[in-house]
Homo-oligomer: A and B are copies of this chain.
Amino acid sequence: MAYSYAYPHPAVTVDVVVFTADEGALEVLLIKRGEWPHTGKWALPGGFVEIDESLKRAAWRELREETSVQAGYLEQLGAFGHPDRDPRERVITVAYIALVPFDRLRFEAGSDAADAKLFAIDELPELAFDHRKILRRAKERLRDKLDIADIVRQLMPDRFTLSELQRTHEAISNTESDKRNFRKKLKTLEIVEATGENKEGGAHRPARLYRAVKKT
């Protein structure tokens, strides 16, 4: 069956940037493309929007089909529409961001994806399409929108050390902070509390585990 129009129409896709923090390191979930174009390259999970589904619904569905991740909250990053960004035809993509704490992130490749894997944000492989540009914008969005309290509530796992939190915060804000000042600031904000437990393993002396303070 063919669908015909009086003037040329673009195709529209969605792509999802899933961020997580693994022991403090900011990481992004990528899939290995199983189909042409860019076969074998790493890319953001995503795909074509169905004609009767909303953009956000499409993002949620494609993410689940290709990685089995069911995103809680998806924020739209924006549309990317350079006329030559896809060799197949004119494809405009709408990108979304999902934040998934590492201890709740379960993924496996499905649908057109040959593989799915986490990559450190500063050690990315070559990416398909304009996905490197999308990722750069996604990181800028995190920097502009997430303060330490948001990071604690939306990105950190249930239990984390203060060094891990500082590392994630530094990766997102693109700044370095002095350890003592960072902890002083955390104290003033009253957003984390000690659990009484220590982190197991590691070469150093055990680090205390913290959790987010429940909002009352």
Contacts and interface: CB of A to CB of B under 8 A. Distances in A.
Given A9-B9, A9-B11, A12-B10, A83 B4 contact: no
Contacts of A83: 51-54
Contacts of A10: 9-10, 12, 49, 51
Nearest to A48: B7
A7 to B, nearest CB: 7
Contact of A3 (B4, B51, B81): B4
Contacts of A2: 4-6
B81 A54 contact: yes
A79 interface: yes
A131 interface: no
A12 B92 contact: yes
**Most chain B CB inside 10 Å of its own CB: which residue of A8, A78, A81:** A81
A55 B94 contact: no
Contacts of A5: 2-5, 9, 11
A3 B9 contact: yes
Interface of A: 1-12, 48-49, 51-55, 76, 78-79, 81-83, 90, 92, 94
